[in-house]
Amino acid sequence: AQSVTQLGSHVSVSEGALVLLRCNYSSSVPPYLFWYVQYPNQGLQLLLKYTTGATLVKGINGFEAEFKKSETSFHLTKPSAHMSDAAEYFCAVINSGGSNYKLTFGKGTLLTVNP
């Protein structure tokens, strides 16, 4: 079975500061990993994903994440926060050996950006 742990249900940063949202996963087979963002009253939008290849992946809006197998982590970062980044962020994993695209989500991290 696979699972995702997001450390910190709420992260608050100042505008221009580094954003770091933590995600650790457990999976019995090589995982596919994802970060989704949910803006207020909207659906889930894919920020970035890791499937195979380069472990540092870049996504939309200046976000990136690095897959670290030894640490079973896939932390999301952005060098400089913008007010528009305020949203809830979800880390998710699927079993790459599975026959379905069944995402297992973390509980989410609410990011607030202070002026």
60: helix, strand or coil = helix
Phi (first) and psi of residue 52, to 5 degrees:
-145, 175
**b vs e for 89-110, b when ≥16 Cβ sit within 10 Å of the residue's Cβ?**
bbbbbbbeeeeeeebbebebbe
Q: Judged by CB under 8 A, which stretch of 20-28, 46-54, 60-68, 78-86 contacts other proteins?
A: 46-54
Our finding on whether 42 is near other proteins (CB under 8 A) is: yes
We find the least distance from the C-beta atom of residue 100 to other proteins, in angstroms, to be 5
We find the least distance from the C-beta atom of residue 98 to other proteins, in angstroms, to be 7
Selected binder of other proteins within 32, 50, 63, 89 (CB under 8 A) = 32
List, in order, residues 6 or more apart from 98 with CB less than 8 Å away: none
Q: Judged by CB under 8 A, which stretch of 10-18, 20-28, 41-49, 55-63 contacts other proteins?
A: 41-49
List, in order, residues 6 or more apart from 42 with CB less than 8 Å away: none
Contacts with other proteins, residue ranges (CB under 8 A) = 32, 34, 36, 42-46, 49, 51, 90, 92, 96, 98-108
